Amino acid sequence: MVCLGIFSLLTLVALGVLVFGAQGFHQVVYEQGSQNDIRRIMAAIQRDLTSTHHKSVSLVDRDSASGNQRDGICVVSLDNWNDPGNFDTYLRPKWNRYVVYYATLEEKGQNQTGRLIREVCIPGSNVGPYEFDKFLNSPGYYLTEGPAANTIDITSQVLTDRLWKFELTNNLVAQSVSLRLALRNPPQNTATGTEREMHSMEILQEIKPANTWPQI
């Protein structure tokens, strides 16, 4: 009986350690996933914003039902920056695309997360280093809850489905864009049965469009 009691106690201790380790691993996986998402998203945004002209920047200010910032931004771009045919003899870009980043207004689950979308818009003509008139006049066509995929003029890509806040500010004097990106993971149960608070991760960054062609 003594041996059986000791064995049962050791079994309970081992199971507790196993459960605690599994929950800790689950939390680490969530946090690592958020870090990877932020690095990947910021690399894409920095690439598109630094290569564009500041005069092409258009912002749409949006809030979700709970008041979380879910903005949108549109900038001019190229379909392929490595294609020599996309530049003239003076290596000035022949603008032929607009790129849109925006957050959906949905708030799924307890962590109230939505999606961050990257769209490539192909207007066909009249593309230049200035604001996209169709985006300015009808932003609802581009900022949708059900992103278009491989349509005639739009191709969409979901960058993350754990987005909490996406806040943008156009700094006209500095000719830069301030960005706040926040991701959120749901609460996790601990080994003691209590619930950890929701884990959030965010980054604040100012990005300056560096392309000067043509200077307006």
Region for 91 from its dihedrals, namely left if φ exceeds 0, alpha if ψ lies in -120 to 50, beta otherwise: left
* Predicted local distance difference test score (pLDDT) of residue 92: 87
Confidence band for 136, pLDDT divided at 50, 70 and 90: very high
* Predicted local distance difference test score (pLDDT) of residue 32: 72
C-beta separation of 121 from 142 below 8 A: yes
Q: Rounded mean pLDDT of 32-45?
A: 89
Distance CA 147, CA 166 (A): 17
Distance CA 211, CA 216 (A): 11
Confidence band for 7, pLDDT divided at 50, 70 and 90: low
Which residues touch 1 (CB under 8 Å, ≥6 apart)? Answer: none
Q: Work out the number of other CB atoms within 10 angstroms of the CB of residue 166.
A: 26
- Classify 5 as helix, strand or coil: helix
What predicted TM-score, i.e. pTM, was given to this entire model?
0.81
163: nearest Cα among 115, 108, 198: 115
Selected residue with higher pLDDT from 197 and 165:
165
Which residues touch 9 (CB under 8 Å, ≥6 apart)? Answer: none
Give the DSSP H/E element, type plus range, for residue 110. none
Amino acid at 24: G
Which residues touch 108 (CB under 8 Å, ≥6 apart)? Answer: 114, 161
Q: Rounded mean pLDDT of 141-156?
A: 79
